[in-house]
Structure 1
Amino acid sequence: MKNSIYFLFLLLMVGCSKESKTNSEILPEVSTTVIANDSLKNFKNESENLRKEETLKRLNNEILSTLKSKDYEGFSNYIHPEKGITFSMYSYINLKKDKHFSREEFDQYIAKDTQFTWGHQDGTGDLLVFPIKDYLAEWVFKRNFKNAEFYFNEFKGTGNTINNIRKTYPNALFTENFIPGTEIYSGMDWNSLIFVFDEYNGTYYLIAVANNSWTT
Structure 2
Amino acid sequence: MKIRSATLGLFLVSLVITISFLTGCGQNKSADTSAPPDNNAVSEGSSPINGAALTPAEAQETIGEQTTKVIEAIRDQDWKAIAAFVHPETGVRFSPYAHIDTAKDVVLKPDQLEKQFKDPAKLTWGTHDGSGEPIMLSFAQYAEKFIYPHDYAQAETTGYNQVIGKGNTLDNSREPGIYADAIMVEYHFNGFDPKVDGMDWGSLRLFYQQREGVWYLTGVVHDQWTI
- Residue 223 (structure 2) aligns with: 212
Q: Is the 8 A contact 1:70 1:137 kept in 2?
A: no
Alignment partners' CA distance in 2, 1:121 and 1:162: 15
Residue 101 of structure 2 is aligned to residue 94 of structure 1: yes
- Residue 179 (structure 1) aligns with: 189
Any idea what SS the aligned residue of 1:165 has?
coil
Amino acid at match of 1:54: E
> What's the Cα RMSD here?
2.1
The structure number with the bigger radius of gyration is: 2
Q: 5+ residue gaps in structure 1?
A: 1-45
Any idea what SS the aligned residue of 2:130 has?
coil
- The residue correspondences of 1:162-177 to structure 2 (distance < 5 A) are 162-167=170-175, 168-177=178-187
Q: Is the 8 A contact 1:157 1:212 kept in 2?
A: yes
Q: Offset of 1:142 from its aligned partner?
A: 0.8
Any idea what SS the aligned residue of 1:110 has?
helix
- The residue correspondences of 1:21-40 to structure 2 (distance < 5 A) are none
Residue-pair matches, total:
171
- Residue 151 (structure 2) aligns with: 144
- Residue 199 (structure 2) aligns with: 188
Amino acid at match of 2:173: I
- The residue correspondences of 1:1-216 to structure 2 (distance < 5 A) are 50-148=57-155, 149-167=157-175, 168-181=178-191, 182-216=193-227
Any idea what SS the aligned residue of 2:81 has?
helix
Say if 1:47 and 1:169 are closer, same or farther in 2 by CA, change over 3 A. Answer: closer
Alignment partners' CA distance in 2, 1:56 and 1:125: 35
TM-score, normalising length: structure 2:
0.69
Residues 148-194 of structure 1: CA deviation (Å, up to 9, x unaligned): 11100110111100001111221111110010025321211100000
Alignment partners' CA distance in 1, 2:56 and 2:131: 41
Q: Is the 8 A contact 1:83 1:102 kept in 2?
A: yes
Q: Offset of 1:47 from its aligned partner?
A: 9.7
Q: Offset of 1:206 from its aligned partner?
A: 0.7
Alignment partners' CA distance in 1, 2:79 and 2:112: 13
TM-score, normalising length: structure 1:
0.72
Q: Offset of 1:87 from its aligned partner?
A: 0.4
Alignment partners' CA distance in 1, 2:55 and 2:186: 20
Any idea what SS the aligned residue of 2:140 has?
helix
The structure with the greater share of residues assigned to helix is 1
Q: Offset of 1:147 from its aligned partner?
A: 1.7
Alignment partners' CA distance in 2, 1:129 and 1:139: 12
- Residue 3 (structure 2) aligns with: none
Q: Offset of 1:131 from its aligned partner?
A: 1.8
Amino acid at match of 1:135: Y
Amino acid at match of 1:156: I
Q: Is the 8 A contact 2:79 2:113 kept in 1?
A: no
Say if 1:71 and 1:107 are closer, same or farther in 2 by CA, change over 3 A. Answer: closer
Alignment partners' CA distance in 2, 1:47 and 1:131: 36
Q: 5+ residue gaps in structure 2?
A: 1-52
